[in-house]
Amino acid sequence: MLHYLANEGSTTLVELSHYLYVEKPTTTRTINRLEELGYVEHVPSRDKREKRMQLTVLGQQVYEEVRITIDAFEKDILTGISVEEQQDMVRIMQIIRANILK
């Protein structure tokens, strides 16, 4: 969720649920917890029924710190795999994902 909010900006719980392929109650519980931790906040919206969320400054800082660890881990596990092979892997995983979602 932090990744999506950091890269896509403010979003609704429905949009986030669709992106993650999880039910809205699951998204709501997780967002509520992230809000308690001070990582996300409500954003005013034209539609009062819509609950838009965005990262707080603290949430952005946490995301950036975690991203450093993730980037280092990805670099380690991809050692010895060429860029072309990595691109093939991403393409194949996208096909697999599409097949699962049929």
Boundaries of domain holding 59: 2-100
pLDDT tens digits, one per residue of 6-56: 999 999 999 999 999 899 999 999 999 999 999 999 998 887 778 899 999
Q: Is the pLDDT of residue 101 over 90?
A: no
| Geometric angle at alpha carbon 61, from 73 and 18, rounded to 5° | 75
Res 62 pLDDT > 90: yes
CATH number reported for the structural domain that contains residue 17 in this entry: 1.10.10.10
Rounded-to-integer distance, Cα 27 and Cα 1, Å? 9
Residue 49, pLDDT score: 77
Residue 51 and residue 16 in contact, taking contact as beta carbons nearer than 8 Å: no
Task: Give percent of the chain above pLDDT 70.
Answer: 100
Say how many domains are in the chain.
1
- Name which of 20, 10, 12, 16 is nearest 47 in CA terms: 12
What's the average model confidence in pLDDT over 73-95? Answer: 95
**pTM higher than 0.85 for the full model?**
no
